[in-house]
Amino acid sequence: MTTLKEKIGSELKVAMHTKDAVRVSVLRLLRSAIKDREIELRRALSDSDILGVIRTQIKRCKESISKFRAAKRDDLAQKEEKELAILETFMPEAMSEDEIRKTVNSVIEELGATTMKDMGRVMKELMSRLAGKADGSMVSDVVKKSLSGSE
């Protein structure tokens, strides 16, 4: 099985051969961000670490898109959306809200959580289980609804 870093490298080679300038640019930027993170941590990154780097790049793209839209620069927003689509191809399949809700309910049951004061414990356990599979803000919303009893 190839690592995520190797997959990015091979995708970059394919993009260079097909002369896909946007894809080449995005993948080079991603490879650079991964290299910077490796230098910062002084170790090789695991696939989960690389997913964290990709998540950061996706977040940056989304912020740029909203800023470009606010500034009425749809041309730049569209360019960022293309980059975002390329980055998202490297992310694992996201969980649906129903799957997240089931996992949240099972963790709440396991930990015996009953009030909002238990949210920190619940979130810590959930994020270790759902790392890379679910959006943290969605998980947080589901936990809040479950613990406050409005679900």
Tell me the residue range of the domain where 13 lies: 4-88
Domain boundary among 41, 63, 88: 88
What's the confidence (pLDDT) of residue 38?
Answer: 96
Q: Round to whole Å and give the CA distance between 48 and 127.
A: 13
Domain boundary among 88, 108, 131: 88
Q: Are 100 and 130 in contact (CB under 8 A)?
A: yes
Domain boundary among 46, 65, 88: 88
83 and 138 share a domain?
no
140 and 102 share a domain?
yes
Distance of CA 93 to the CA centre of its chain: 10
25 and 44 share a domain?
yes
Which residue is associated with the tokens 């009425």? 72
9 and 68 share a domain?
yes
**pLDDT tens for the 151 residues of the chain, in order:** 679 999 999 999 999 999 999 999 999 999 999 999 999 999 999 988 999 999 999 999 999 999 999 999 999 999 999 999 999 999 988 888 899 999 999 999 999 998 899 999 999 999 888 877 888 888 999 999 998 875 4
83 and 101 share a domain?
no
47 and 102 share a domain?
no
Instruction: Give the chain's domain count.
Output: 2
The whole-model pTM stands at 0.74
15 and 78 share a domain?
yes
Measured CA distances, 9 to 18, 66, 92, 104, 120 (Å)? 14, 29, 18, 36, 38
16 and 81 share a domain?
yes
